[in-house]
Amino acid sequence: MQIESLAIADIRILRPKKFGDHRGFFSETYNKKALLDAGIDIDFVQDNHSLSAEKGTVRGLHFQIPPFAQDKLVRVVRGAIFDVAVDLRPGSPTFGQHASAVIDANEWNQILVPVGFAHGFMTIENDTEVIYKVSNFYAPLHDRGILWNDPALGIDWPLEPGDAILSDKDRVQPRLSEIETPFD
């Protein structure tokens, strides 16, 4: 498995090996030992699976506050997403900055988003399916978010804001300047 850092070093792209022949392919998409060997020690406890029917669907920017904060390992099994992680750690030199990457079923890449980051994505193909592991269970009372297109974040989303398909929840999230971040 190849592992590389993005513009914010704590955000990493993972590229599992994929072995194919005339029957199809085989891939080990998660291996705790391979992550440990790369200095990543996370215990995942839950898998989530989403389907977004239309290109331009936005999910996020979400995070959970302690004690239910979550690391996420995100992969796409059909379609593609523009994935974003925003640093919410006030003492970090990259606080308020973001890292982004296209995660694509054809590229077979994944993104690791650690605790302390808001996470979200926009689908860039119809019928996109995303599977992601999390290191803590969903806790509705600890669920938070920030506005996906907060101008202060400077995220260059691949579609015009008026073309985005949003949930009612994501449409009214606060801006980064309006939240109290609980991360060290």
Active site residues per annotation = 62, 132
Alpha-carbon span 45 to 42, nearest angstrom: 10
What are the percentages of helix, strand and coil residues in the chain, rounded to 5?
A: 10, 40, 45
Alpha-carbon span 72 to 61, nearest angstrom: 13
Alpha-carbon span 161 to 106, nearest angstrom: 26
Tell me the one-letter amino acid at 116: G
